[in-house]
Amino acid sequence: MKQYSVAVVGAAGLVGEELATILEQRDFPVQDVQLFDTEGLAGNTMSYRGADVAIQRVSDSVFHEIDLAFFATDAETSREFVPKAVKSGSIVIDLSSAFRLEPNVPLIVPEINPHLISTHHGIIASPDSMTIPLALTLHPIHVRARLKRVVISTYQAVSENGMAGIEELERQVLNIFNHKDILCQTYPHQIAFNCLPHIGNFTDDDNTETEEFIRKELQKIFNSDTIGISVTAARVPVFHGHSASVNIETEKGVYATEVGFYLDESPGLKVIDEPYENLYPLAIEAVGEDEVLVGRVREDESVENGLNLWVTTDNIKKGGALNAVQIGEVLVWND
């Protein structure tokens, strides 16, 4: 099998580190790997296949011999360096929000739309960490009963903001128990023992950017702007693991029991739904899992053809790094 020169940009972050780990675990056909990050984060080393690999500072000139570049960076960094990587001949799999909604950039969840990977023009986008589990869960229902309207409430972990989010939650918890002042640097309010209905900047219509991204990304993945989607995104004091409550209206009627069955048969999903045994998806149990966990599947009698369910995923793994590597796997298999 052909071997590839691979770069991970953003390697010093949680998702970048997980991405490099998954490349090794899944035996991705890597001839050599190069690790990059922005100034101030470069300089450390990371173990890959038993060797210490230095994390270099990303620059305009580093991509000339790179076949495939994974960008686990913020949108600003991606906008600056992704076009330069493509111009140098690299194919980019970008995990940021920079290019997801561009019409000529395929937005990929490999279990749903892998056929679109071949339509890329140098950039392939991986969806938001909350969009991925929602798309995987909603797609089998959409195929069988056609989605009419979806109301989503998300409960998203602080690790989405990297070590800054984790350390702020840790610090605030310790300060509370030690009767010290609470400092808010990563979030506008105290996150410890609190919930913030605010992820991303607010838009002109009073939604947040994250809420808008989730709605528009789902519509793009399903190739339908007629599905009504409403999203409220909240940050919660959980270190790892995104969760969501999902209320669904479908055009065709379906029973909760059959929905649970074909969700469990769908790739990328694992149903845990024995509520009388206290078995349902938990954020702490999603950590480290490749699959999205789904449960509390039940009919909503307040509306015709209504369903409720609960979704949980490892936001760093399947919500980020694993989805990107799976895109890369489809890409190289078809090369």
Instruction: Note whether 104 and 153 are same-domain residues.
Output: no
Does residue 16 belong to any structural domain of this protein? yes
Instruction: Note whether 261 and 145 are same-domain residues.
Output: yes
Q: What is the pLDDT at residue 46?
A: 87
Does residue 175 belong to any structural domain of this protein? no
Q: What is the pLDDT at residue 1?
A: 73
Instruction: Note whether 214 and 81 are same-domain residues.
Output: no
Q: What is the pLDDT at residue 149?
A: 97
**How do strand 269-271 and strand 30-37 relate by DSSP bridges?**
unpaired
Instruction: Note whether 82 and 96 are same-domain residues.
Output: yes
Does residue 177 belong to any structural domain of this protein? no
- Between CA 136 and CA 142 the distance in angstroms is 10
- Contact call for residues 286 and 310 (beta carbons, < 8 A): no
CATH number where 329 lies:
3.40.50.720
Q: Which residue has the tokens 């989607």?
A: 229
Instruction: Note whether 300 and 324 are same-domain residues.
Output: no
Q: Which residue has the tokens 């600056």?
A: 80
Does residue 180 belong to any structural domain of this protein? no
Q: What is the pLDDT along the chain (335 residues), one digit of tens a residue?
A: 789 999 999 999 999 999 999 999 999 999 999 999 987 778 888 888 888 899 999 999 999 999 999 999 999 999 999 999 999 999 999 999 999 999 999 999 999 999 999 999 999 999 999 999 999 999 999 999 999 999 999 999 999 999 999 999 999 999 999 999 999 999 999 999 999 999 999 999 999 999 999 999 999 999 998 999 999 999 999 999 999 999 999 999 999 999 999 999 999 999 999 999 999 999 999 999 999 999 999 999 999 999 999 999 999 999 999 999 999 999 998 87
Domain range for 115: 4-126+320-333
Instruction: Note whether 273 and 141 are same-domain residues.
Output: yes
DSSP 107: B
**What angle do helix axes 209-221 and 131-145 make, rounded to 10 degrees?**
40
Instruction: Note whether 72 and 138 are same-domain residues.
Output: no
Instruction: Note whether 30 and 89 are same-domain residues.
Output: yes
CA angle at residue 314 from 309 to 316, to 5 degrees?
140
- Between CA 229 and CA 211 the distance in angstroms is 10
DSSP 31: E
Query: Which amino acid is residue 151, in one-letter code?
Result: V
Does residue 74 belong to any structural domain of this protein? yes
Instruction: Note whether 98 and 206 are same-domain residues.
Output: no
pTM of the model: 0.96
Does residue 186 belong to any structural domain of this protein? no
Q: What is the pLDDT at residue 50?
A: 84
CA angle at residue 1 from 123 to 52, to 5 degrees?
75
Instruction: Note whether 144 and 277 are same-domain residues.
Output: yes
Domains held by the chain: number: 2
